[in-house]
């Protein structure tokens, strides 16, 4: 595989699963189960991502192929490394397909686990340190013509040496447009891509409005959400449906108009949001307790106009990273008890569940497979930033004043906040909202009619007098079922072995077809084995509909 980085680790090939001893399960994503394991050869601790093949007939999941292909090519300290693949052959059942595992370095935490861990309090210097590394990773990806397309806290891994790495490239793809240039936003895309990407809470407004010609700016929006999440200790935009997601985004950053988001009214998904009550935005007020430079960076990352949204190059140079307190050096950060997505689920089951990652759409790296990691620019540890706080590890310093918890309800910003406290410690009104229904179970308030050609967005229901969306009986679709929030494809019906795609194609080259997706979690598997209820039948009809939309 071509690469321009001579230091890139070579991919060593395939080990046997017997070379590893499983220690503990870490995460259960949409596409695989991740476990902590010890290598019997070297004793090193690794993470094994088991690639779930739901439907034997479909073969190896295209999402996993995409992830492996990309990870093999990429080489950057802030991007997770794929060390090798491991294979598990089923000795007793020789006909059974072998199970494959991705072997990656073990990372002690994911950021979602950390932000929701009540024992972990971030300092602002720490947040700066993580943000710098995240932006370095994104700069590398974008410079290498890669869109990540699922930027979220759960896909950001951190180890106890303070190293941050971007993970989960199941939705990533090659970007055909020009690489963003310093001082010039994120540029213009040259072709269309699917909008069925990015987990809802981190999805940028242009995707919600169905811009298909999107740019690396979609990842920068996600970085903005993650940035603010580190202060608030919870995702900042927990939309209950796609339309509600757009609504709460506009409440935060203001309604779109031709000044702040030129061209928005021509986007196919704008019809429903035109009915929203105009919003002025409350970003500055909601984050009033942040340092003004942090507010400014956040506003740049959460800019409605995707063309002007700050790119990774400029974000790295933002004055925020040169203001006090200076970013910690990764090696000076404190060590924390391991925290992963699963621990979070165990400890906070009552809290809102994240909407599942979308199944993604068009597959592959684009026509140009010759692009190399690094795009010819020089990357390598440490990142280009030189302004770290060099006073050494915290425990060797004069103790700082006790950290003041970041409180988004404080009346005004006077001194920079020093630390964040998990949201549930701030009082009842800052707790998470009640558990939203899983989106694929039609928990959405958005019940759009089918697009006439598969490209146009669904038209949302008209607003009620109070500006909120009134529920409306969904129109029938050609297959006899109502429609759903099409941006969160469901995987369960698509996984039924008997679920033939509408065109009868069954192979894994049905681009973007979600049947290769395993259940997002065990609950889904349970659902599949239950007896058919009217609810379930209805769901399955919805899912058929989704599949058809998705295939397009």
Ligand X SMILES: Nc1ncnc2c1ncn2[C@@H]1O[C@H](COP(=O)(O)OP(=O)(O)OP(=O)(O)O)[C@@H](O)[C@H]1O
Q: Which residues would be at the binding site for ligand X (CB under 6 A)?
A: 26-27, 29-32, 34, 47, 49, 80, 104-107, 110, 154-155, 157, 167-168, 170, 340-341, 357
Whole-number Å distance between alpha carbons of 224 and 311? 11
- Strand extents, DSSP E, 184-229: none
**Rounded to whole angstroms, how far apart are CA atoms 433 and 435?**
6
Nearer to ligand X, 15 or 267 (CB): 15
Q: Which residue is at the shortest CB distance from ligand X?
A: 29
- Least separation in angstroms between CB 91 and ligand X: 27
CB of 340 closer than 8 Å to CB of 138: no
For residue 327, the minimal CB distance to ligand X (Å) is: 23
Q: Which residues contact 311 (CB under 8 A, 6 or more apart)?
A: 142, 180, 181, 182, 184, 185, 186, 216, 217, 220
- Whole-angstrom distance, CA of residue 112 vs CA of residue 386: 27
To ligand X, the closest distance from the beta carbon of 70 in angstroms equals 12
Identity of the residue, 341 or 544, whose beta carbon is nearer to ligand X in the bound complex = 341
Instruction: State how far the Cα of 407 lies from the Cα of 421, in Å rounded to an integer.
Output: 8
Q: Is 69 annotated as a binding residue?
A: no
Residue partners of 386: CB distance under 8 A and separation at least 6: none
Nearer to ligand X, 157 or 163 (CB): 157
- Alpha carbons 92 and 99: distance in angstroms, whole number: 14
- The torsion angles phi and psi of 465, rounded to 5 degrees, stand at -55, -35
Of 158, 157, 141, residue with least CA distance to 217:
141
Dihedral-angle region of residue 471 (phi above 0 means left; psi in -120 to 50 means alpha; beta otherwise): beta
Least distance from C-beta 23 to ligand X, angstroms? 11
- Cβ distance to ligand X smaller for residue 167 or 270: 167
Among 73, 156, 148, which residue's Cα sits nearest to residue 115? 156
Q: What number of helices (H) and strands (E) belong to the chain?
A: 13, 13
Q: Cα angle vertex 266, ends 262, 270, to 5°?
A: 100
Rank residues 149 and 551 by Cβ distance to ligand X and give the closer one: 149
Residue in 110, 143, 150, 510 annotated catalytic: 150
Active site residue 150: yes
Q: Residue 286 or residue 517: which is nearer to ligand X going by CB?
A: 517
Handedness of CA 222, 223, 226, 227 (dihedral sign): negative
Catalytic sites, residue numbers: 150
From the annotation, which residues make up the binding site? 49
From the annotation, which residues make up the binding site for ATP? 49
């Amino acid at each position: 595989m071509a690469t321009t980085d001579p230091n890139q680790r070579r991919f060593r090939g395939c080990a046997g699963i017997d070379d590893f001893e499983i220690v503990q399960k870490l995460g259960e994503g949409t596409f695989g189960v991740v476990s902590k394991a010890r290598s019997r050869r070297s004793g090193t601790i690794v993470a094994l991502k088991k690639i779930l093949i739901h439907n034997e007939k479909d073969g190896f999941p295209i999402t996993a192929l995409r992830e492996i292909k990309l990870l093999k090519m990429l080489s950057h300290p802030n991007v997770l490394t794929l060390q090798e693949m491991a294979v598990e052959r089923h000795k007793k059942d020789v006909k059974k397909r072998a199970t494959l595992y991705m072997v990656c370095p073990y990372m002690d935490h994911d950021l979602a686990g950390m932000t929701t861990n009540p024992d972990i309090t971030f300092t602002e210097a720490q947040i700066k340190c993580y943000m710098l590394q995240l932006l370095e990773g994104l700069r590398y990806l974008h410079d290498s013509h890669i869109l990540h397309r699922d930027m979220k806290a759960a896909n950001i891994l951190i180890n106890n040496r303070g190293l941050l790495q971007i993970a989960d490239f199941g939705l990533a793809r090659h970007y055909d447009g020009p690489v963003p240039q310093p001082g010039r936003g994120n540029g213009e895309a040259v072709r269309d891509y699917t909008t069925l990407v990015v987990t809802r809470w981190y999805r940028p407004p242009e995707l919600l409005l169905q811009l298909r010609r999107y740019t690396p700016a979609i990842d920068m929006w996600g970085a903005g959400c993650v940035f603010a999440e580190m202060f608030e200790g919870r995702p900042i935009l927990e939309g209950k449906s796609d339309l509600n997601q757009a609504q709460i985004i506009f409440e935060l950053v203001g309604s779109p108009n031709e000044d702040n988001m030129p061209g928005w009214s021509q986007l196919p998904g704008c019809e429903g949001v035109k009915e929203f009550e105009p919003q002025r935005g409350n970003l500055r007020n909601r984050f009033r307790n942040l340092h003004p430079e942090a507010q400014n960076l956040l506003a740049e990352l959460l800019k409605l106009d995707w063309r002007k949204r700050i790119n990774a190059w400029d974000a790295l140079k933002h004055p925020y990273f040169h203001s006090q307190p200076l970013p910690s050096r990764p090696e000076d950060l404190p060590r924390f008890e391991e925290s992963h997505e699963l621990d979070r689920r165990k400890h906070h089951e009552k809290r809102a569940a994240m909407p599942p990652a979308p199944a993604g759409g068009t597959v592959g790296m684009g026509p140009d497979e010759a692009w190399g990691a690094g795009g010819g620019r020089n990357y390598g540890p440490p990142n280009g930033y030189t302004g770290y706080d060099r006073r050494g590890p915290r425990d060797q310093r004069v103790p700082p004043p006790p950290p003041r918890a970041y409180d988004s309800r404080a009346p005004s910003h006077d001194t920079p906040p020093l630390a964040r406290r998990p949201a549930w410690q701030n009082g009842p009104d800052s707790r998470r909202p009640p558990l939203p229904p899983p989106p694929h179970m039609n928990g959405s308030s958005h019940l759009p009619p089918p697009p006439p050609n598969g490209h146009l967005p669904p038209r949302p229901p008209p607003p009620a007098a109070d500006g909120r969306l009134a529920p409306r009986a969904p129109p029938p679709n050609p297959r006899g079922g109502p429609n759903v929030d099409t941006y969160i494809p469901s995987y369960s019906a698509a996984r039924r072995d008997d679920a033939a795609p509408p065109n009868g194609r069954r192979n894994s080259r049905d681009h973007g077809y979600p049947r290769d997706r395993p259940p997002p979690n065990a609950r889904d598997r349970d659902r599949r084995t239950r007896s058919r209820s009217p609810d379930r039948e209805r769901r399955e009809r919805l899912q058929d509909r989704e599949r058809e939309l998705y295939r397009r």
